[in-house]
Structure 1
């Protein structure tokens, strides 16, 4: 399989559905629950339709595979995530542009979503590396990535411009195929406690 293939990934906790405009109302509701930290790029509720358009355009350009994240406990779409920075010839991909509404944070949603995406990347797409990146100052995101078992590759200084014009230092993490079994076991143990 390819990272760009249109797929739905699901387990008992979440369903990752190909992103579409039918998800806009739920995503707008989820976005309204968030406090916007200066180091994030989560759309405000009114900008969700434009963000869906942006992600679909990147999908059509062959550089992103976007998903809506549906929490099965409630049936609601609670966030977005993507396979991005797709380098199919070298079998490398990033999991990124992820955000989850407050009602689903610190729940089963993030570990279940990451478990599905990593399994697809390593087991179905034969990835040689999966990257996860976040703003250096986003301690909550960095802690979540580190809980997965991803290793810090380094900090890309002045990596990109933020919407407010400031420069972002990006913390870059990765998981390699030989690390995937331990990461999978850790995620399975976390989900078994839910």
Structure 2
């Protein structure tokens, strides 16, 4: 992996199960199909674009990328070559050597397959090994128990809860749970992720 210090750049990151590609409108059709399964986009405690809103969401993320405020990727199943989700670096803070991994969703059929763990492994390796971050954050809705458990399984520690942090479009309020991994924790987190991925590849 080529080392650089541009927090907003989006090089292709490749693993055995997944490939993270710079997000493009070329991914829109496959991503629209992915969110349509079980109407994933209707999940109430997170923001997932609808099939009809997929192009607009891709364009929104690409605009933030052009402004240097976000690094957006499409999550691609390496075995099929199809895009099955999105993920980003956001809250980029090069001065304090911090960023957040978030605005992530995966299609139902890609969940619990090892793809999410490998995508996080690739993103964390870039953050700590290439960008020399000292901390990487994860944030999620208090009621998103699946996401909270998944973040904890990565080895992240809970920093706290931001009460009444976000007002959703329907007027409901989100309490945001904040987790992080620090640079000194990364070697141990990496070992744990590698062990999980090895089990996934043996299945």
Query: Contact 1:41–1:163 (CA<8 Å) still a contact in 2?
Result: no
Task: Please report the TM-score for the alignment, with normalisation by the length of structure 1.
Answer: 0.98
Give the Cα separation in 1 of the matches to 2:194 and 2:100: 21
- State the Cα distance separating 1:103 from its structure 2 match: 0.6
Task: Please report the TM-score for the alignment, with normalisation by the length of structure 2.
Answer: 0.93
- 2:125 equivalent to 1:126: no
Give the secondary-structure state (helix, strand or coil) at the position aligned to 1:156.
strand
Give the secondary-structure state (helix, strand or coil) at the position aligned to 1:111.
helix
- 2:33 equivalent to 1:29: yes
> Mean alpha-carbon deviation: is it higher for 156-165 or for 61-70?
156-165
- State the Cα distance separating 1:112 from its structure 2 match: 0.4
Any stretches of 5+ residues in structure 2 without a counterpart? Answer: none
Match of 1:113 among 113, 119, 135: 119
Query: Contact 2:10–2:72 (CA<8 Å) still a contact in 1?
Result: no
Give the Cα separation in 2 of the matches to 1:176 and 1:155: 18
Give the Cα separation in 2 of the matches to 1:186 and 1:6: 25
Give the Cα separation in 2 of the matches to 1:163 and 1:49: 20
Give the Cα separation in 2 of the matches to 1:5 and 1:40: 26
Query: Contact 2:10–2:73 (CA<8 Å) still a contact in 1?
Result: no
What is the match of residue 72 of structure 2? 66
Any stretches of 5+ residues in structure 1 without a counterpart? Answer: none
What is the match of residue 190 of structure 2? 184
- 2:87 equivalent to 1:81: yes
- State the Cα distance separating 1:134 from its structure 2 match: 0.4
- State the Cα distance separating 1:177 from its structure 2 match: 0.5
Q: RMSD over aligned Cα, in angstroms?
A: 0.9
Structure 1 residue runs of 4+, over 4 Å off? Answer: none
Match of 1:43 among 41, 44, 49: 49
Match of 2:7 among 3, 14, 20: 3
Count of residue pairs the alignment pairs up: 194
Match of 1:93 among 95, 99, 123: 99
- State the Cα distance separating 1:160 from its structure 2 match: 1.1
